[in-house]
Amino acid sequence: MLARTYDLVRFEKLNIKNMTRSVKGTIEQPGKNVRQKAGLNRAILAQRWGLLRQRTEHKAPGRVEDVPAPYTSLRCSACGWIDKNSRKSQAEFCCSSCGFICNADTNAATNVAAGQGGIPRPRRSAGAGGTTPPQQRSSVREPQPPWVGIPLFKRRRMSRTLE
């Protein structure tokens, strides 16, 4: 569906191998929250993020991009300001510059869709040592189709001719 629906598909370049590494420790002195980390590792590996990206590349060759993961969750999708204090919690994002509020995952997904990640860049409208509020919300988004679905069957109309 992704390959048929979109001209360009972007994935956040996550280091899955490092994310699923076991908690450091020994048998005598195990690390903290070992059971929780093992459950998180199983959940990440069960989702098969790497396989999804690989198969999408096979079905849409040349139309899959990787966006560097740093700062995608800290950058404001409305004004571009990067501040670690904007992440109020795991789920809430509130920009310390323009006051834009939304779900943190939605904000990060918007940044990935716009290809904004990696090296922190200051806003173009920021003056020397100061910040200026943005004029409007960013309009950089992937085109959204009016209907997203997987067409399983093509409907053919049978026409009868009565003679």
Query: What is the rounded distance in angstroms from the CA atom of residue 123 to the CA atom of residue 102?
Result: 20
Query: What is the rounded distance in angstroms from the CA atom of residue 147 to the CA atom of residue 150?
Result: 10
User: What is the residue type of 115?
Assistant: G
Give how far Cα 149 sits from Cα of 4, 30, 113, 141, Å. Answer: 10, 47, 20, 20
Give how far Cα 46 sits from Cα of 2, 7, 29, 59, 122, Å. Answer: 20, 28, 28, 22, 37
- List per-residue pLDDT tens for the chain, 163 residues long: 888 888 899 998 888 888 888 777 666 777 777 778 888 888 888 888 888 889 999 998 989 998 888 888 889 888 888 888 888 888 899 998 888 999 998 999 899 888 887 666 555 544 433 444 444 555 555 555 555 555 545 555 555 555 4
pLDDT in tens, 20-51: 887 776 667 777 777 788 888 888 888 888 88
